[in-house]
Structure 1
Amino acid sequence: MHRPPTAETEVAEELAAVRPGLVARYTAELPGARSAVLSRLWRALAHEPLPWVAGRESVRDGLVVRLRDGRRLYGPGADPYRTGGYVTTVRCEEAEYADPAGLMTALAVPRGDGFAAELGHSVASLALSRAAQPEPDGPPERDWEWEQRVVDGHPFHPNCRSRPGFTVAEQLAYAPEHRPVVGLARVPVPASQCLVTGAWPAELRDGDRLLVPVHPWQAAHVLKGADEAGHRIDAHPLMSLRTLAVPGGPHVKTALSARLTSSVRDISVASIGASATLSAFGEAVAARCDGLLHITRTLGAATAYSPDLAAVLRESPESYAGTGERVVPVAALATASLSRSPDLLAGFARLAVRVGLRALELGVALEAHGQNLLVVLSPAGEPVRLVYRDLADLRVSPARLARHGIAVPELPERMVTDDVTVLRRKLFGSLVAGALAGTAGTGAALRDALEAAVRELPRTGDLDALREEPLPAKALTLMRLAPPRGPGDQWAELPNPLSGAVC
């Protein structure tokens, strides 16, 4: 019986054509990649409010997940804050699955087949990413070099490396962990047909036309070969893949109409229109955070009134490094020997929780996950300040801002709310259950770091919620299984690592 090709075999075949020397390493990395993705999926099965899960129970040798159709899943105990590949198989009744795509297919839940295909892509792309890593060549020196150390992607998302729509050649050419130099196209558009905010630079103008930086994948697949022969801007891709660092220049956020991890990476017209206002607002809030927070300014933004053709130019976070200091994305901390220091983790937790709660008190909930949040390390490796970038997903409370005499800017309606649950979910879900948990790597390490952080802070309602209530985290698998144009962010409630702790 002929079996259809899997994502793993498709990648192997493409790799044999474009980089045959990597095939053996790719094959060797597949078991570890399956385990890494299966571990993320098992976390979701153990903790997310999935409608087809009836209950969970701990047993002597692990965890049982009971499905509503009567079947049972068996796997190891699932620490919701543990990272890495610690699950090698999950048993569904009498069948064992080492392949997350195979397990998802066997569950036969609504919209599960599409998600299973994405899990297959995630495994194959992760194995490819690991296979192509060069030998370590010393500590990173430039901002993009830190970002390109993040090989495994999102520490908790099963689709951590899912890149459907990208060929193997395109992954090698554009993905940050492969460390390419990417040539951004410059697509000319009459200025009269564009919305521009901030200062659009002279080098990206040609008479009465704007030259909009475009990712080459977007140019080939969406804009159909735009500016094929034009002068290109050499840049280095960052963690988000669609944002790239220009040496000696800005970071360029491009539209990328492909689904990566969870989202299609275009840039809305509304976000371009609000970019300058948001940038100035972010700076004003950061100025009230005791010198511990910087916001990367938006220098200019432009769109041809289309989410498929737009770009944002931002300061490099390196702008906020003093002599001998390093600016490191939080997601990259876990890739460096720095993260193995309990003192560094505790210091980072104290700094991040203090700043996050201060901004929340002022009326701004930061989406401070490991990609948006960066930490400035002193020459001795101590966390001293934070840098935050990409303000598009803030949540802003007019009532809290008013209490502190801060004017409410004109912002997109989706960003404005006084709902305390929404505000706390945004901050705690990204910072604590995301950036801090991903850096800590286990619930025990996260608890120790948080204990040190909250002990020094004044009591507030937000701090009490962080100490005492279940910890919110985005229900990433539930959201991927939702119908198109579903309810948006959905949440899991994780065990609070501080519960019962004396702080």
Structure 2
Amino acid sequence: MNRRERVDRVDHLPPPADAVAHRADAYAAAPLLNCLLREVAERLPEPGDRPVYRLPDGRLLRVRGERRPAEPEVRTAGAWRRVSHTELVKLVAEELTRHTGLSNHDLPAEMLDSRDAVAALLAARDRSTAPGDPYLRSEQCLVTGHPYHPAPKARGGGPVAAWLPYAPEAHVRFPPVLLGVREDAVVEEGDTAALDALGEAPPGYRLLPAHPWQLDLVSCAEAFADGRLVRLGTTGFEVWPTAAIRTVYAPARDLFLKFSLDVRITNDIRRLWRHDLLELRRTDEAVVRAFAQGPGPASAGSARPAAWLSDRGYRTADFAFEELAVLVRDGLHDHVRPGATPLLAAALVEGFEGNPLDTAEDPGAWWEAYLRAVVPPVLTAFADHGVVLEAHLQNTLVAVADDGTPVQALFRDAEGVKLLPDVPRAQGWERLVYCLVVNHLWEIAAALAERRPGFDPWPAARRELARHALPEAAALLTAPTLPGKTNLLLRWTGADGAAARYLPLPNPLADA
């Protein structure tokens, strides 16, 4: 069965097209509304069950719900009028043009592309089967994606047929392409031995796996013509794309591979950039040292120390250094506590079959166990080793026991790690707080509280942070605000994808 057949296989009758369209509108509107309401709107003290906001031009907008706002309505001629997704995109563009004084024609197109991608993903999911393995299921469940990005599912505006065969949300798997790179053109650093075990290269060549989608996006015709590159077919096994899309997991080999992908996904073109690759070993080795030295079971209060999935090496070709780069990442088996099941933290927020948030008998005990697993490794790495982990929801795995209780955290992605003093300590701490507290803990806490009305997650979070003898952690407990990244304004103003600008959000830790 080829890749197209796997995507198009029909297991049951799909829902009507208008039902898929309605669902796609709702999925796409929620993160866009989150951005609009957080970054440029003012909430009004209006009575009723629907929050009301004033937009920069004075218009009033109300929504249903808090964590994932829905059913937007605009006040017009004394009455509330429902706004479609297309109208919402137009409204956002108008508001941002007034608010910033800048125009932007690309981002509205991305918002519409993101919505259309969601529709394609929903249709594909309705006719596919989710993985039986809970870990893979968690990696492939993110239909909403980043809850505070205006176009989290945009796929570069390309045709659906170009990207759907490689979309994790569509429950696909595929074999990577195997290339041979002439030995005199190979560039590599670190431990890349796993790549040589993927197949057999002809004499004078080294193996280089490639993502099929990336090969469709870049041209290597000259290198194929002169023999610097040769095609060797595909691997003898399939890989599963993870939530990161360009990172894939090979369960049979217990191996992660991360590729370049010349597509804008959220804020960045997802290429393995030269400057990041040249810093990779230094950064990764610093994190490996930090995790090797602690925190251990006693300080973390967990049954096994947290783990770092090392980006242990990369290989590429000198004539296509960024375009064909592939990074080798540790697998799971040597790191996950025996008997535990790793799950993507972002999936706990999104929701999937087997989500322990749905089954936890005691939300307080579950949340305290989660905090004990996730918080100490991040704070210790910063305090003792000057390592700023990018511990957001997509870079964190949480291993759970049979009853769903968190027992261990695993972190990944050296590309997003910062080291002190490469960045000033205050800047590093702000980034840590955004990734760990705002992007991560806040979202898990909100999802848990939504399922358990009346449950307040913040006193336990405050107690966990107070356990750590770190001046910044103590100050965090009394700070009036936390930093919230402004993804909508960043994209509208054309900021660099790696840039970070923050707006102050009320600090629930101080109120606890």
- Asked whether the 8 Å contact 1:357–1:462 carries over to 2, the reply is no
* Runs of 5+ consecutive residues of structure 1 not aligned to the other structure: 1-16, 399-415
Structure 2 equivalent of residue 98 of structure 1: 84
CA separation of 1:459 and 1:136: change in aligned 2, threshold 3 A: farther
Structure 2 equivalent of residue 286 of structure 1: 291
Residue type at the aligned position of 2:89: A
Structure 2 equivalent of residue 427 of structure 1: 432
Matched, 1:394 2:417: yes
Matched, 1:248 2:252: yes
Structure 2 Cα separation of the partners of residues 75 and 181 of structure 1? 41
Size of the aligned set, in residue pairs, is 457
Matched, 1:329 2:344: yes
Structure 2 Cα separation of the partners of residues 496 and 206 of structure 1? 59
Residue type at the aligned position of 1:383: P
Moved more, 131-140 or 24-33: 131-140
Structure 2 equivalent of residue 316 of structure 1: 331
Matches within 5 A, 1:439-478: 439-441=444-446, 448-456=456-464, 457-469=467-479, 470-478=481-489
Give the drift of 1:120. Answer: 1.0
Give the drift of 1:369. Answer: 1.1
Structure 1 equivalent of residue 268 of structure 2: 263
Match of 2:45 among 49, 58, 70: 58
CA separation of 1:485 and 1:328: change in aligned 2, threshold 3 A: closer
Matched, 1:115 2:88: no
CA separation of 1:19 and 1:379: change in aligned 2, threshold 3 A: closer
Structure 1 Cα separation of the partners of residues 406 and 150 of structure 2? 30
Structure 1 Cα separation of the partners of residues 274 and 95 of structure 2? 40
Match of 1:203 among 194, 197, 202: 197
Give 3-state SS (helix, strand or coil) of 1:76's partner: strand
Moved more, 252-261 or 205-214: 205-214
- Asked whether the 8 Å contact 1:296–1:316 carries over to 2, the reply is yes
Residue type at the aligned position of 1:359: A
Matched, 1:339 2:335: no
User: Deviation string for 1:189-238 (max 9, x for gaps)?
Assistant: 23332321113233365433232222111111213677896321231111
Structure 1 equivalent of residue 28 of structure 2: 37
Structure 2 equivalent of residue 492 of structure 1: 503
Give the drift of 1:142. Answer: 6.1
Give 3-state SS (helix, strand or coil) of 1:257's partner: coil
Structure 2 Cα separation of the partners of residues 76 and 212 of structure 1? 50
Structure 2 Cα separation of the partners of residues 479 and 108 of structure 1? 11
RMSD: 3.1
Structure 2 Cα separation of the partners of residues 39 and 154 of structure 1? 10
CA separation of 1:142 and 1:57: change in aligned 2, threshold 3 A: closer
Structure 1 Cα separation of the partners of residues 120 and 95 of structure 2? 27
CA separation of 1:108 and 1:496: change in aligned 2, threshold 3 A: closer
- Asked whether the 8 Å contact 2:13–2:127 carries over to 1, the reply is no
User: Deviation string for 1:442-501 (max 9, x for gaps)?
Assistant: 595699334213314145322223322212121111111122548821112211112322
Matches within 5 A, 1:71-82: 71-76=58-63, 79=66, 82=67
Structure 1 Cα separation of the partners of residues 211 and 342 of structure 2? 25
TM-score by length of structure 2 reads 0.80
User: Deviation string for 1:47-74 (max 9, x for gaps)?
Assistant: 22x5xx6x5543334333242xx44232
Structure 2 equivalent of residue 408 of structure 1: none
Structure 2 Cα separation of the partners of residues 207 and 359 of structure 1? 44
Give 3-state SS (helix, strand or coil) of 1:427's partner: helix
Residue type at the aligned position of 1:30: A
Give 3-state SS (helix, strand or coil) of 1:166's partner: coil
- Asked whether the 8 Å contact 1:350–1:452 carries over to 2, the reply is no
Give the drift of 1:136. Answer: 10
CA separation of 1:436 and 1:206: change in aligned 2, threshold 3 A: farther
Structure 2 Cα separation of the partners of residues 315 and 294 of structure 1? 11
Residue type at the aligned position of 1:208: G
Matched, 1:125 2:117: yes
Match of 1:215 among 193, 211, 214: 211
- Asked whether the 8 Å contact 2:8–2:124 carries over to 1, the reply is no
CA separation of 1:437 and 1:30: change in aligned 2, threshold 3 A: farther
The percentage of counterpart residues that share the same residue type is 25
Give 3-state SS (helix, strand or coil) of 1:448's partner: coil
- Asked whether the 8 Å contact 2:93–2:108 carries over to 1, the reply is yes
Match of 1:178 among 160, 164, 170: 170
Give the drift of 1:22. Answer: 7.7
Moved more, 231-240 or 288-297: 288-297
Structure 2 equivalent of residue 87 of structure 1: 70
Matches within 5 A, 1:21-36: 24-36=15-27
Structure 2 equivalent of residue 276 of structure 1: 281
Matched, 1:349 2:366: no
